[in-house]
Structure 1
Amino acid sequence: MVRKRARRQGPIRASLWRFRRSPLRRTSDLVEAWLLLVAWAVGVLGGATAGALAAMVADQDFEEERSARRQVVAVLLENARDAVPGHADVSRSGAAVRWTTPDGRTRTGRTTVAAHTRAGTRVPVWTNARGDLVSQPPTESDALVRSSFVGVGAVMATGCGVWASARAVRALLDRRRMRQWALDWERVDMRRGGRTA
Structure 2
Amino acid sequence: MAKGRPGRRRTTVTLWRWRRSPLRRTSDLVEAWVLLAAWALALLGGAAVGVVTAVVADRGAEGERAERREVVAVVVSTVSDGVATRFSDGSRVSVEVRWTVPDGHTRTGRTKVTAGARAGSQVQIWTDARGELTSQPADPPEARLQATAVGVLATAGTGGLVWAGTRAVRGALDRRRLGQWAMEWERIHTHWGGKTS
Q: After TM superposition, is the score higher than 0.5?
A: yes
Cα distance in 2 between the residues matched to 1:29 and 1:72:
67
Distance in 2 (CA, whole Å) between partners of 1:174 and 1:87 is 68
TM-score for both structures, normalised by structure 1:
0.88
- The root-mean-square deviation of aligned C-alpha atoms, in Å, is 1.8
Write the letter of the residue equivalent to 1:154. A
Question: What letter is aligned with 1:124?
Answer: Q
Which of 86, 90, 98 does residue 89 from structure 1 map onto?
A: 86
Matched, 1:51 2:68: no
Report the residue type matching 2:21 in the other structure: S
Could you tell me which residue of structure 2 aligns to residue 186 of structure 1?
A: 186
1:133 aligns with 2:133: yes
> CA offset at residue 175 of structure 1?
0.5
Partner residue in 2 for 1:154:
154
User: For 1:35 and 1:28, how far apart are their aligned partners in 2?
Assistant: 10
Segments of 5+ residues of structure 2 without an aligned counterpart are: 1-8
Matched residues in 2 for 1:155 and 1:75: separation? Answer: 45
Give the distance between the partners of 1:176 and 1:78, measured in 2 at CA.
73
In the TM superposition, what is the alpha-carbon distance from 1:87 to its structure 2 partner? Answer: 5.8
Counting aligned pairs with the same residue, the percent is: 54
Kindly state the Cα deviation for residue 88 of structure 1 after the two structures are TM-superposed: 2.6
- Provide the secondary structure at the position in 1 that maps to 2:193: coil
| 2:113 matches 1:104 | no
- The ranges of structure 1 where at least 4 consecutive aligned residues each deviate by more than 6 angstroms after the TM superposition are none
Question: Residue type matched to 2:109 in 1?
Answer: G
Counterpart position of 1:25: 24
| 1:167 is the counterpart of 2:167 | yes
Q: Which residue of 1 aligns with 2:120?
A: 120
Q: What's the offset of the Cα at 1:100? A: 0.7
